[in-house]
Amino acid sequence: MIAETNGTARAGRAGAAVVELTGVTKRYPGGVAALEDVDLTIARGELVAIVGPSGSGKSTLLHIVGTLDLPSEGAVRIAGHDVAALADRELAALRARHLGFVFQSFHLSPGLSALDNVAEGLLYAGIPRGERRRRAAEALERVGLADRVTHRPHELSGGQRQRVAIARAVAGDPLLLLADEPTGALDTASGEAVVSLLRDLHAEGSTIAVITHDPEIAASFPRRVRLRDGRVVEDTANPAGRPDQAAPAGNSVREGAA
């Protein structure tokens, strides 16, 4: 059962694992393996780039970490919960209380204001309407859009729409923010502004994993996990890639992914 609130979860020790993947493999019909024997731990407070070319398994990894899909083999623990042991309703509660998502295509409702788009993201967290709107206004101020709360998506630039999407993701104060190619639909300047915003959120204490194919973005992050053909081939938390070499506290990737 997903019982604790985010405040309770955040009270745990710094550096505790938010994500723990052990031997995760994902195969689709026909035997195609999108992920193969992946071990990955992400600790609280980390800013991680998960990088690789198209078809490397990045999006599949995000879906599994985000509990949107289940592995064919291996174990997944998110915020201390064994995903395989949770019913569908409990998985939905886990996502609502602990995870925030940002996607390349924004996924904003065109008929709603920025404020209502953000507030709508809190609907399934069981938060009263007035509190949802209060938190939405705070989140929009946090991403620099306090003067755009009444604007609808078509009245905003691409960069501003992505900021609304980020505000929606962080309004519930998630343990983990998952961003899937957040700069992919943006021009260079807007993309740099979004990356800067993610850095600011990380500096404020957010744990963030960014899926990207852009090596420049990945290189600018403190930790990089590189995928190729569904395997982890590099993790800067354990650069030697040797199973007998311990990674820094809270970070580990098993050899065998090279």
Residue 183, token pair as written in the block: 């700069």
- Residue 235: exposure state from Cβ atoms within 10 A (0-12, 13-18, ≥19): buried
pLDDT at 201 over 70: yes
Q: What is the pLDDT of residues 15-52, one digit of tens each?
A: 689 999 999 999 998 888 999 999 999 999 999 999 99
Contact 138, 127 (CB under 8 A): no
In a domain, 68, yes or no: yes
- Taking the C-alpha atoms of residue 205 and residue 45, their distance in angstroms, rounded to an integer, is 6
Residue 151 structural domain: 6-235
Identify the pLDDT of residue 111. Answer: 94
In a domain, 193, yes or no: yes
CA-CA distances (angstroms) from residue 205 to 46, 75, 102? Answer: 9, 27, 17
Confidence (pTM): 0.83
Q: What is the pLDDT of residues 103-143, one digit of tens each?
A: 888 999 999 999 999 999 888 777 899 999 999 999 999 99
Q: Which residue has the tokens 């059962």?
A: 1
Contact 185, 194 (CB under 8 A): no
Domain total of the chain: 1
In a domain, 77, yes or no: yes
CATH code at 104? 3.40.50.300
Mean pLDDT of the chain: 86
| Sign (positive or negative) of CA dihedral 125, 49, 254, 245 | negative
- Residue 219: exposure state from Cβ atoms within 10 A (0-12, 13-18, ≥19): exposed
- For the chain, percent of residues with pLDDT exceeding 70: 86
- Residue 206: exposure state from Cβ atoms within 10 A (0-12, 13-18, ≥19): buried
In a domain, 250, yes or no: no
In a domain, 94, yes or no: yes
Rounded-to-10 torsion of CA 194, 93, 141, 165? 40
Q: Which residue has the tokens 């993309």?
A: 191
pLDDT at 249 over 80: no
Contact 220, 210 (CB under 8 A): no
pLDDT at 248 over 80: no
At residue 212, the 3 state secondary structure works out as strand
In a domain, 161, yes or no: yes
Identify the pLDDT of residue 247. Answer: 38
pLDDT at 242 over 70: no
In a domain, 244, yes or no: no
In a domain, 222, yes or no: yes
Residue 222: phi, psi to the nearest 5? Answer: -70, -25
pLDDT at 252 over 90: no
pLDDT at 241 over 50: no
Q: Which strands form 81-82's sheet, in the order they lie side by side? A: 32-43, 17-28, 73-78, 81-82
